[in-house]
Amino acid sequence: MLWKFYFVLVGIVLAGIPVFGQSQDRANVLFIAIDDLNDWVGALNGHPQVKTPNIDRLAKRGVLFANAHTQAPLCNPSRVSIMTGLRPETTGIYNLAPHHRDVVATQNLVTLPQYFEANGYRTLSNGKIFHSIGTTPDKKVEFQEWGPIGGGTGGHPPAKLVGETQMGNHPLLDWGVYPEEGDSVRNDYKVASWAEEKLATLKEDSSQPFFMAVGFFLPHVPLFATRKWFDLYPGDEDLYLPPAPDWDRDDVPDFSWYLHWYLPEVRLSWLKENQQWENKVRSYLATISFTDAQVGRVLDALERNGLEDNTIIVLWSDHGYHLGEKGITGKNTLWERSTHVPLIFAGKGLPEGTVSQEAVELLDIYPTLVELTGLPAKEGLEGISLLPQIRNPETSRERPAITTHNPGNHSVRSDRWRYIRYADGSEELYDHEKDPHEHHNLAEVEAFAKIKADHARWLKGTDAPHAPGSKHRKLEKKGENWYWEEKLIIKDELIK
């Protein structure tokens, strides 16, 4: 048995992957979450003008998964999936509610930070990690120490900058320069300051490794940033707008509208009518750069305190965001703009400047961190460790990435293809090698029937029903009719 252990140990070391034994030898974990950030990151080439120098330098320091996808295009189900290691179609949590501790099937699950705590880690968190924290003791069990910021931007102007918006005039649906100066009043700035202070403290106490979660709210709406971040980007005439041809939904099933039937997020038509498309795109870019700067502050603090060489960093976003593509803004779709997200692993013992093009899932974060830190394998996780791709980015994965939005609606993303099947049986298929913007639906082309079948076989066929207490962006069939947030969907009332 000793000889077997020796050969396994030597094999891992030669592969360049760290091995940790006792608790004090294990790497720390810096877990950085960003809300609503799509692939508009320099390292991902998602937008030709975006400026994200800090995320880009992290990518150069580690392994960038350039084809990573979320399990759900919505905050709560995405984050529950990441932190529990289970898919939405397993837990039944598809919407902005319920909290996972309020559901019998998930209330006793051991989440990622809890598993690290059980294995000797000090766990602490600030900012938005879960969609909601809750104030009761049973909902404050994920971390040993909670910072003072739970999310949000930290202040709104007296009146909305963009005036009244369609579909409810939600107060969060706003964007522009606010305040003119003073980044320090923003919650994300305060989250980064907290991280700086905590890292200085953790430097002095190395008796146990730490798992620190740092969650940034922007570029979630409202898209407010100070003037200096807007000044990084050109005005209307020179600003690059995402490709959004008027005919983009001509070959898309009508059922696709059901996934975002009536939302606070405005349609592209409203942006154009109100001369706000450029302003919103520029606001989104400005908030990305502001958030990138806060990421940089945390990375600098890690290095300044001598913790960089013994820490594994993972950076991710919970889902993407449309800025006009397919005629909409926001998330809640199964297309690339909603599902494709940044995912980077960097730090102790990991390769540098490596890019993997394999289709991977945020679900894979949990088992990957467990394996990288040498913890005992966690049973019951539905993700697959990314260690093979970290060792060698050319290593293929048999399984594609699956995204789900309400029961029965799924996207299957492989290295080349995206296949979508909706709850009514309608389909889409896109060839990303020839059509990276997903303009041409090939689902009805007989020549691609086998491609569709190869992707469809990864779907379970039976999804868990909505968990008790499900609400907010809930799509449900009752009898022969479809309901959006408990209201009957009437096709003639569609807002495009």
Q: Which residues are catalytic?
A: 75, 131
Torsion angles phi and psi, residue 435, rounded to 5: -140, 70
Give the tokens for residue 9.
């140990």
List the beta strands (DSSP E) in 128-257.
145-146, 175-177, 210-216, 223-225
Length, in residues, of the chain:
496
Give the tokens for residue 67.
């084809």
- For residue 52, what are the CA distances in angstroms to 241, 285, 298? 18, 10, 14
- Are the C-beta atoms of residues 313 and 346 closer than 8 Å to each other? yes
Torsion angles phi and psi, residue 225, rounded to 5: -155, 160
Enter the DSSP assignment of 377.
P
Give the tokens for residue 335.
């297309």
Q: In whole angstroms, what separates CA 491 from the centre of its chain?
A: 31
Task: List the alpha helices (DSSP H) in 143-276.
Answer: 187-204, 227-230, 268-273
Residue-wise burial string across 347-361, b where 16 or more C-beta atoms lie within 10 A, e elsewhere: bbbbbeebebebbbb
- Are the C-beta atoms of residues 190 and 293 closer than 8 Å to each other? no
Provide CB contacts within 8 A for 211, sequence distance 6+: 28, 29, 31, 113, 116, 117, 121, 122, 123, 124
- Are the C-beta atoms of residues 242 and 285 closer than 8 Å to each other? no
Alpha-carbon dihedral 263, 264, 267, 268, rounded to 10 degrees: -140
Give the H/E segment covering residue 371: helix 365-372
Please tell me whether residue 343 adopts helix, strand or coil conformation.
strand
Task: List the alpha helices (DSSP H) in 70-146.
Answer: 75-84, 88-91, 112-118
Task: List the alpha helices (DSSP H) in 124-184.
Answer: none
- Are the C-beta atoms of residues 375 and 367 closer than 8 Å to each other? no
